[in-house]
Amino acid sequence: MSSLKPLSRSRRLASILGLATALSTASAAAALADAPNVVTSIKPLQSLAASIMEGVGTPSVLIDGAASPHGYSLKPSQASQLQNANLVFWIGESLETSLEKPLSSLAGNADVVELMQAKGLHLVPFRLGNGFGPHVHEGEGGGHDGHDHDEAHAHDAGHDGHHDHEGHDHGAADHDDHGQDHEGGEEGHHHEGTDPHLWLDPENARIMAATMADHLAAADPANAGTYKANFDKLSARLSELEAGIRTELEPVQGKTFVVFHDAYHYFEDRFGLAASGSITLNPESPPGADRIREIQQRIKTDGVVCVFGEPQFEPKLVSVVLEGTDARMATLDPLGTGLTNGPGLYAELLQGIAKTMNTCLSGK
């Protein structure tokens, strides 16, 4: 009769370690398999969601690359993503105008979260007049210069961030009718109401991330602790990010600049900057000759140091605006077009905007 020899101590330890590794791998695989199917509209939101979901799953993004969110057309594969989604995070119809109908028709089984409705956001209006709106003729009134923030407000606490597509009334006060045809040109359409580029304020990013964490925890209670822990880590990083950008931009506060379109109000407001105007009133319609002349004159009279274009739009237009002026040209990217998706994109995006502004405005 044969006898079994006891395993040596080293072999027993190896067996235990191997079993622990196998269990850990199986647990991680199970977590990924059970993770909610999360779809985000734009890259900055994908980055925030990826930070919250780190270690559990990876959210996808619809509007990638250099496409503008205002007029994006979904690919068939992306329509399938929406159909299979458990959660969808977007800003709202005033930004991702083209997504409103697909979200209603394709994402019927998903929790569609309009982050512009999150509680506690600092919201600012689109700026009108004084370089940001239709030319105000003498006797027509002064318009809004965009820097009196009495109109800026924390959003109505009655909203929880969930977008009910069956009867949710956006209200004329918040959103212009962005579903109308833009072929009439810039003179026939300009942005009004609440500015939707709210992710460019890191405090708003924190609030949106908290909303994401809440909805993820509700959809996936088993990983609620991970979502909460990840949010706490992200919140700390956002505080560090804000402090670093404030230091970066302090030397160029008071310098004048013009942006391609009014997309940076939140960033300016948070970090003490103030654009003199925008080249275009509606980014989907090129400015006419009168508008270009008006901005060229503003560049001269305001002593504008820098004019910022965007990668989503034709750079030649900025060159035309700069003709006959001493202003420099640089490119700001509010969407993170060329950046790699993931948890690090959001910080990289805001740091890139700050560095570009510092470099151009200081003449480095």
Dist. CA 115–CA 161, nearest whole Å? 6
Q: Of 243, 248, 273, which is closest to residue 259 (Cα–Cα)?
A: 273
Average predicted confidence (pLDDT) for the chain: 81
Other CB atoms within 10 Å distance of the CB of residue 32: 12
Cα-Cα-Cα-Cα dihedral sign, residues 217, 114, 264, 173: negative
Contact 361, 248 (CB under 8 A): no
Structure-model confidence comparison of residues 230 and 100, the more confident one: 230
Q: Is the pLDDT score of 258 beyond 60?
A: yes
Joined together, the tokens standing for residue 36 give 């909610």
Q: Of 117, 120, 212, which is closest to residue 174 (Cα–Cα)?
A: 117
Helices (DSSP H) in the chain: which residue ranges?
Answer: 9-34, 43-53, 76-83, 100-106, 202-219, 224-249, 265-271, 289-301, 316-322, 345-362
Q: Which amino acid is at 229?
A: A
Dist. CA 235–CA 113, nearest whole Å? 20
- The β-bridge partners of 329 are 307
Read off the pTM: 0.77
Structure-model confidence comparison of residues 6 and 289, the more confident one: 289
Q: Looking at residues 167-190, what average pLDDT do you find? A: 38
Dist. CA 76–CA 91, nearest whole Å? 22
Q: Of 361, 287, 347, which is closest to residue 317 (Cα–Cα)?
A: 287
Alpha-carbon torsion angle 85, 91, 93, 94, nearest 10: -160
Q: Is the pLDDT score of 341 beyond 70?
A: yes
Joined together, the tokens standing for residue 10 give 């080293």
pLDDT-derived band at 132, boundaries 50, 70, 90: confident
- The β-bridge partners of 162 are 113
Give the CATH class of 35-143+153-177+193-362.
alpha beta
- The β-bridge partners of 153 are 123
Contact 307, 279 (CB under 8 A): yes
Q: Which amino acid is at 100?
A: E
Q: Looking at residues 195-210, what average pLDDT do you find? A: 98
Boundaries of every domain in the chain: 35-143+153-177+193-362
Dist. CA 26–CA 85, nearest whole Å? 24
Structure-model confidence comparison of residues 9 and 149, the more confident one: 9
Q: Of all helices (H) and strands (E), which one includes residue 89? A: strand 87-90
By DSSP bridging, strand 328-331 and strand 306-309 are parallel
pLDDT tens-digit series, residues 65-76: 767 776 787 888
Q: Is the pLDDT score of 15 beyond 70?
A: no
- The β-bridge partners of 112 are 88
Dist. CA 112–CA 103, nearest whole Å? 8
